[in-house]
């Protein structure tokens, strides 16, 4: 196919065709996000409880969430590698296919009462999270200049529907599963399996033409880097590191994403424990977490527009400021300070959204098109590893010291990052 500049010298007819493909791409990705979001939320809400029932140990039940996060991290690079070689459709299909297989293994594990097998299934279940993260990058391949953040943000916003609806479907799914003759506790994961199957079908059927392959076919002929072949499978990680060394802005974006996610997971994971120590009932803790999720997703289109309007770095600094305010508010609140903690958790979600959206857009724009999947995969890998590490470290800090000390540690971390972003301006 003849090389046509993607941003310059495009005829109105070709530009209109690209815009139409991008609108279709955003719609397909959003539908897949909604359906997969239901599957993730249902499984995540129910997994630790089921592992506790199968193992008879509360301590082992904590491995359920760890297994899913580990799976998302392990599958980030294979998803990126597949996208780099064969397009976004192949990468996302791999991620959701692994999640579907993970649900099937989980259903079998519950049926035979094997918690180790269930943990293995939950590792593959993490593929849904890997696919969800990769979807946001898929939204930027055909974005016109100055629109990548808002396009990315709409796909992130679509996660809200599944994240809110999913946990409320777990109990009805369990009852329906029992009525259909399934083993107890398998219904929610059967629902997740169905949700991932729909997401997989939507991607395979609907993501045509593939946005990444189309973008590669219309890059400027004058840009020699765009003619470089996609990295070989075993070179994905090495290619990502090499690309980052040549793109300081991408390094800043990657650090901002990792720090935002670490701060969010650290505080969020220990807030229910903090409130429980104050005697807050489960429904109050649920409301606090719902406000946090709302902060993460509801404002994402506004944050995307703002990042396109005033720039990526200013929004990243805003995000660090919100995370600092969240750490101070939540960290200085006593176990009975539900209102103060709720405000802090809402700000925590908004700060995370700023970091994810502005950072992801900045990362995508800072590296050549042919290296983007590799760098994006590395970003998602580090993001999940940092999140898991942050959750473990937060538990140790709160257990040995206090929730307030955790808030102080997070406040220092985001303050240093915000100052670094200010000094290292793009």
For the chain, how big is the Rg over CA atoms in Å?
21
Least confident of 64-73, 116-125, 229-238, 243-252: 229-238
Q: What integer is the mean pLDDT of 398-407?
A: 88
pLDDT at 8 over 50: no
How many whole angstroms separate alpha carbon 241 and alpha carbon 258? 16
Q: What is the pLDDT of residue 28?
A: 96
* Backbone angles phi and psi of 206, in degrees to 5: -90, -25
Question: Which one, of 410, 251, 269, 242, lies nearest residue 326 by Cα?
Answer: 410
Listed residue (113, 145, 127) closest to 19, CA to CA: 145
Other CB atoms within a 10 A radius of the CB of residue 181 amount to 6
- pLDDT of 59 over the 80 cut: no
Output the six-digit token pair for 288.
């606090």
HSE at residue 12, side-chain half, CA atoms within 13 A, is: 0
Q: Residue 119 has which token pair?
A: 């943990």
Give the residue-averaged pLDDT of 393-406: 87
What pLDDT does residue 97 have? 97
Structure tokens at 267: 């505080």
Q: Lowest-pLDDT range, 247-256, 273-282, 351-360, 374-383?
A: 273-282
**What pLDDT sits at residue 278?**
81
In this prediction, residue 234 carries a pLDDT of 46
Q: Poorest-confidence range of 153-157, 234-238, 302-306, 312-316?
A: 234-238
Query: What pLDDT was estimated at residue 6?
Result: 44
- The per-residue pLDDT for range 89-140, each reduced to its tens digit, is 999 999 999 999 999 999 999 999 999 999 999 999 999 999 999 999 999 9
Specify the range with the lowest mean pLDDT, choosing from 21-30, 89-98, 172-181, 342-351.
172-181
Residues 182-241 have pLDDT tens digits of 888 899 899 999 999 999 999 999 999 999 999 988 865 334 343 344 444 345 778 888
Contact 368, 224 (CB under 8 A): no
* Site of tokens 């395979």: 204
Candidate from 198-207, 281-290, 340-349, 375-384 with smallest mean pLDDT: 281-290
pLDDT at 173: 84
pLDDT of residue 14: 61
Sign of CA dihedral 274, 388, 129, 40: negative
- Written as six digits, the tokens of 120 are 């293995």
- The answer to whether residue 154 scores a pLDDT higher than 80 is yes
Question: Of the segments 36-40, 59-63, 241-245, 350-354, which one has the largest average pLDDT value?
Answer: 350-354
Q: What is the model's pTM?
A: 0.83
Tokens of 148: 């990548």
pLDDT tens across 326-373, in order?
999 999 988 888 899 999 999 999 999 999 999 999 998 898 888 888
Statement: residue 7 has pLDDT above 50: no
By residue count, the chain amounts to: 426
**What's the mean per-residue pLDDT of the chain?**
86
pLDDT given for residue 180 in this prediction: 87
How would residue 170 be classed by pLDDT, with cut points 50, 70 and 90? confident
DSSP 291-325: HHHHHHHTTHHHHHHHHHHH-HHHHHHHHHHHHHH
Q: What span, in angstroms and rounded, lies between the C-alpha atoms of 289 and 345?
A: 7
Average of per-residue pLDDT across 268-292 = 79
Q: How would you class 273 by CB atoms within 10 Å of its CB: exposed for 0-12, middle for 13-18, buried for 19 or more?
A: middle
Query: Which of 49-63, 79-93, 311-325 is predicted least confidently?
Result: 49-63
Residues with Cβ within 8 Å of residue 292, at least 6 apart in sequence: 268, 271, 345, 346, 348, 349
Confidence band for 279, pLDDT divided at 50, 70 and 90: confident
Given a cut of 70, whether residue 318 has pLDDT beyond it is: yes
Task: Give the list of residues 6+ apart from residue 180 with CB closer than 8 angstroms, or none.
Answer: none
Helices H / strands E in the chain, number of each: 17, 0
pLDDT at 10: 56
Q: Which helix (H) or strand (E) holds 173?
A: helix 148-179
Three-state SS letters, 12-68: HHHHHHHHHHHHHHHHHHHHHHHHHHHHHHHHHHHHHHHHHHHHCCHHHHCHHHHHH
- Report the pLDDT value the prediction gives residue 232, as an integer from 0 to 100: 44
- The predicted pLDDT at position 220 comes to 55
> 19 or 2: whose pLDDT is higher?
19
Calpha distance 225→332 (Å, rounded): 51
CB 292 within 8 Å of CB 371:
no
166 vs 113: which has the higher pLDDT: 113
Per-position DSSP letters for 117-156, written without gaps between them? HHHHHHHHHTHHHHHHHHHHHHTTTTPPTT-HHHHHHHHH
Rounded distance, CA 219 to CA 140, Å?
Answer: 14
The CA distance from 156 to 140, in Å, is: 12
Asked if 364 and 137 touch (Cβ cutoff 8 Å), the reply is yes
Cα–Cα dist 29/198, whole Å: 12
């Amino acid at each position: 196919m003849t090389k046509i500049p993607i941003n310059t010298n495009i005829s109105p007819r070709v530009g209109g065709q690209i815009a139409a493909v991008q609108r279709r791409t955003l719609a397909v990705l959003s539908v897949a996000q909604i359906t997969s979001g239901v599957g993730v939320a249902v499984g995540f809400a129910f997994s630790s409880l089921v592992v506790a029932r199968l193992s008879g140990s509360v301590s082992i039940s904590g491995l359920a969430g760890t297994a899913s996060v580990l799976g998302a991290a392990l599958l980030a690079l294979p998803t990126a590698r597949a996208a780099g070689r064969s397009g976004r459709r192949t990468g996302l299909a791999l991620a959701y296919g692994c999640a579907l297989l993970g649900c099937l293994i989980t259903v079998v594990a519950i049926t035979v009462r094997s918690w180790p097998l269930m943990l293995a299934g939950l590792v593959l279940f993490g593929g849904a999270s890997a696919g969800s993260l990769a979807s946001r990058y898929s939204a930027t391949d055909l974005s016109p200049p100055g629109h990548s953040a808002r396009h990315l943000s709409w796909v992130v916003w679509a996660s809200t529907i599944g994240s809110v609806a999913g946990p409320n479907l777990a109990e009805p799914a369990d009852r329906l599963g029992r009525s259909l003759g399934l083993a107890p506790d398998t219904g929610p994961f059967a629902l997740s399996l169905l949700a991932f199957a729909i997401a997989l079908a939507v991607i395979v059927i609907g993501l045509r033409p593939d946005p990444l392959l189309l973008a590669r076919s219309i890059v400027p002929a004058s840009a020699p880097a765009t003619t470089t072949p996609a990295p070989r499978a075993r070179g994905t990680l090495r290619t990502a590191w090499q690309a980052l060394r040549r793109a300081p802005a991408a390094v800043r974006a990657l650090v901002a994403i990792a720090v935002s996610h670490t701060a969010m997971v650290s505080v969020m994971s220990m807030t229910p424990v903090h409130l429980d120590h104050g005697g807050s009932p489960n429904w109050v803790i649920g409301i606090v977490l719902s406000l946090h999720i709302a902060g993460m997703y509801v404002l994402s289109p506004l944050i995307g527009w703002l990042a396109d309007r005033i720039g990526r770095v200013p929004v990243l600094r805003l995000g660090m400021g919100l995370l600092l305010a969240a750490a101070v508010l939540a960290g200085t609140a006593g176990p009975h300070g539900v209102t103060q903690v709720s405000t802090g958790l809402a700000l925590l979600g908004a700060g995370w959204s700023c970091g994810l959206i502005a950072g992801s857009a900045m990362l995508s724009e800072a590296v050549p098109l042919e290296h983007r999947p590799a760098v994006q995969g590395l970003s998602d890998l580090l993001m999940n590893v940092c999140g898991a590490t942050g959750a473990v470290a937060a538990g140790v800090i709160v257990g040995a010291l206090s929730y307030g000390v955790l808030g102080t540690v997070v406040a220092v971390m985001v303050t240093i990052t915000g100052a670094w972003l200010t000094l290292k301006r793009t």
